[in-house]
Amino acid sequence: MEFAVYEPPAATLGKVPVVFFLSGLTCTWANVSEKAGVQRHAAERGLLLVMPDTSPRGLNLPGEEEDWDFGSGAGFYVNAVQEPWASHYQMFDYVTDELPQLVSAEFPVERDRFGVMGHSMGGHGALISALKRPDVFRTCSAFSPISAPSKVPWGQKAFRGYLGNDQALWAEYDACELVAESTLDAPVLVDQGELDPFLEDQLQPHRLEAAFQLAGKSIEVRLQSGYDHSYYFVSTFIAEHLARHAQEL
């Protein structure tokens, strides 16, 4: 697994907080590091950024490269139980356990001040990581997240392939199902473009907002007029997200 790290100037003076950015379908760590303009804002806020890849690469598994929305580049941040994926596609443990331990050992960071954010599939990943592991991630935000993966085609395809047909196992990786039992107490910020072509069929933020409200959890879902699903959208609002993380951390 490859990942990118941005160290802010503040890291030369002492330990700093960390924000993980989880990317979406087809992406690598390079998308956010090259397209989002995120480094300047992280430098201003004294945040170290960790940008993982979206799946293992080059395993030559059957079907690994057949679909853009499953397999390589599409790990969906779950721990696969179906073969041939189970031996390698343990993305939830990688993001919430292995990588935080590695970053803590190798970089000047404050282990109790980690946040997580993401885009699209990575927005889903950020939500479930924070909801399932609030002991690791104290803050959370998302751009255009796949809010209810159990209910939409992208999520159903991935869950069926990685997890099988057990709906109870699907619920363990669906933010709308997790929020009621989560102990995450930080407010969650979600930005969603109103012109996003995937809004109605794949993302469905209204389900997420309703689930949070029903659970008595704090969430702000902002529908941004004129914006789509692209990194132009992400780059426009990412400074506000990092400011929220910095303040809460």
Which position among 55, 72, 196, 245 bears the catalytic label? 196
pLDDT 10s digits, 100-147: 999 999 999 999 999 999 999 999 999 999 999 999 999 999 999 999
Work out the percent of the chain whose per-residue pLDDT is above 70: 100
pLDDT 10s digits, 143-172: 999 999 999 999 999 999 999 999 999 999
Provide the total of helices (H) and of strands (E) in the chain, helices listed first: 10, 7
Which position among 119, 124, 229, 241 bears the catalytic label? 229
Does residue 120 have an active-site annotation?
Answer: yes
Question: Domain containing 69: what range?
Answer: 3-248
Does residue 201 have an active-site annotation?
Answer: no
CATH of the domain at 55: 3.40.50.1820
- pLDDT of 156: 98
Residue 226 has which token pair?
Answer: 């004129």
Interatomic CA distance for residues 1 and 52, integer angstroms: 8
The candidate with the shortest Cα–Cα distance to 148, out of 173, 126, 166, is 173
- Report the C-alpha dihedral over residues 87, 92, 94, 95, rounded to 10 degrees: 160
Half-sphere exposure of 239 (CA within 13 A, CB side): 8
Which position among 120, 141, 144, 147 bears the catalytic label? 120
pTM: 0.97
pLDDT 10s digits, 94-103: 999 999 999 9
Question: How many domains is the chain partitioned into structurally?
Answer: 1
- Rg over CA atoms, the chain: 17
